[in-house]
Amino acid sequence: MRQRLFSFFCFLLLSVAATAQTSKVKVVIDNDFCGDPDGLFQLVHHALIPSTEIVGVIGGHLDGGHGFTSRADQATESAEKATRLLNALGMDGIKVVVTVRITPPFPSC
């Protein structure tokens, strides 16, 4: 009985492991790639993990005076950096878009 139970659990674990290796998690990455380099590391990390599939990247915007850029179009710069990095990794088929910055009509609290 113990041997059958052990065999069943081994079969179950191998089945789960085989399923986990063949299925991929689809991700959309949204980050300010022109700020500190953590966003670029995140992008490379997701690109190199075999269990993830990047289906899109969104270049975000920082508040003025933040990050490692002085450009006013930070979201565009973020998208450009993400595109260059994906091209260097041979993943140039991934859609990279620029986020739209919306200024609310009311003052922030």
Where exactly are the structural domains of the chain? 24-109
pTM over 0.75: no
Question: Are the C-beta atoms of 94 and 56 separated by less than 8 Å?
Answer: yes
Residue 13 pLDDT exceeds 90: no
Instruction: Provide the residue type at 94 as one letter.
Output: I
Average pLDDT value for residue range 16-25: 67
29 against 17, higher pLDDT: 29
In sequence order, the β-bridge partners of residue 25 are 52
Give me the helices (H) in the chain, please.
2-22, 38-48, 74-88
Q: Per residue in 37-94, pLDDT tens?
A: 888 999 999 999 988 999 999 998 776 666 677 777 888 889 999 999 999 999 989 9
Q: Which residues of 35-52 are buried (b: 16+ CB within 10 A; e: fewer)?
A: beeebbeebeebbeeeee
Q: State the pLDDT at residue 61.
A: 79
